[in-house]
Structures are given as structure tokens and as C-alpha cells.
Amino acid sequence: MSKRGKILILVSPSGGGKSTMTKRLLRDFDKIKFSVSATTRPPRKGEEDGVHYHFLTKENFKQKVADGDFLEWEEFYNGTMYGTLRSVVENELNKGYFILLDIDVLGAKNVKELYGDEALALFIKPPSLQVLKERLIARGTESEETLNTRIERAEKELEYASDFDTVIVNDDLETAYNQIKETVSNFINS
């Protein structure tokens, strides 16, 4: 059996570059696997259970919360629930994989507390809220309301940045990615 893996946590406000960094890490490190979250939202066209998400009924999700089956979970204002199943993560860790979690700041803090030095928590910070707003506008996917909600949430999330193992400012994509790649590489090889 291979050596037990560890956990990698990437957190950033929406528009901070987390998705881009995640894709590149998965491409550049064959030991890293992305953690498939559980959700109560219905599958979208083309999504497969266990591949894109673990799709659960609200009742099933709530039972798993009560049973302590989640490392972290969150319920959004619309009632949709998302979480990271402990069994899924543990199974991959025991196979020697490094599991990459894309979760919110509070979930990241919970997972870091549970796993301590076996987890690396990285916060990807935009250079400023104004730059973040410009990136979100450039996407062309946000209404004025969702844009304002994302900016308000980003302000709150940025307050937690100093609680993470490493904070990387994503001012220049290549520079930021190289810092993340080096940090992750050191963690994997430690």
C-alpha cells in the first residue's frame, strides 16, 4: 500500500482564480485528485452522480449531517446544501492521493482543524476588491444583485485570509500559479 495522502485546500472569493489554479494543479500533479462534493441540488444536463457531485436528497443529506458523515457542509440562502463526505476523502487519502478541496473559508478552517499538519490551506487573494469586481464583471455572468452579493461575501472572506497556511495574491496569474505550484510541491514531498 502506498503512503497515505494529505489534503490540499484552495480558497478564494469568487473571481479570485481558484478554478484556474485547481485545473492547473490537477494537470501538473498526478498524485492530486479533486474531491467530489455532495449536494442537494438536482443534476444539470450532462452531470453524473459520483463524477460531478454526489447527488443526495435533502433528507439523506440532513441524515448524513446528523451522523457526522461530513468534514464540512454549508446551506445556502436558497436552501441548497453542499458538503464534503468524510468517507470519500478518507478512501482517497488511504490510496495515497492528495485530495484537493474547493470549499469556503469556514469549511476550510474546519478541515484544517481536523487534519492539522496533514492539510495545507491556501488562500488565493485578489489584489483588491476593485480588481475582483472588474473580473466578475468581465465574466458577463453576474446580475447587479449577484455581483453585489459576491463582493459582500468576498469582503467577509478576506477577513479570514491570515488564518490560512499561505496567502497568495493573484495579481499576475503565472506568478501566482508558480507560487502555488511550489508550495504544493513542497507539501507533497515533505
> What's the confidence (pLDDT) of residue 140?
79
- Look at residue 2 and tell me if it is in a domain: no
- Look at residue 171 and tell me if it is in a domain: yes
> What's the confidence (pLDDT) of residue 70?
97
DSSP single-letter state for residue 46: T
Listed residue (169, 183, 161, 157) closest to 8, CA to CA: 183
Alpha helices in the chain (DSSP H): 18-28, 58-66, 86-94, 105-115, 129-139, 144-158, 173-188
pLDDT tens digits in sequence order for the chain, 190 residues long: 468 999 999 999 988 888 899 999 999 999 999 999 999 999 989 999 998 899 999 999 999 999 999 999 998 867 899 999 999 999 999 999 999 998 889 899 999 999 999 999 999 999 998 998 888 888 877 788 888 888 998 999 999 999 999 999 999 999 999 999 999 999 999 8
Listed residue (42, 44, 24, 43) closest to 34, CA to CA: 24
- Look at residue 1 and tell me if it is in a domain: no
Q: From residue 180, give the alpha-carbon distance in Å to each of 2, 62, 92, 152.
A: 25, 35, 22, 26
Domain range holding 47? Answer: 7-188
> What's the confidence (pLDDT) of residue 2?
66
| CATH number of the CATH domain containing 137 | 3.40.50.300
- Look at residue 62 and tell me if it is in a domain: yes
Q: Give the full edge-to-edge strand order of the sheet including 32-34.
A: 32-34, 98-102, 7-11, 119-125, 166-169
- In terms of pTM, does the model score above 0.75? yes
> What's the confidence (pLDDT) of residue 35?
94
> What's the confidence (pLDDT) of residue 66?
97
Domain count, the chain: 1
Amino acid at 18: K
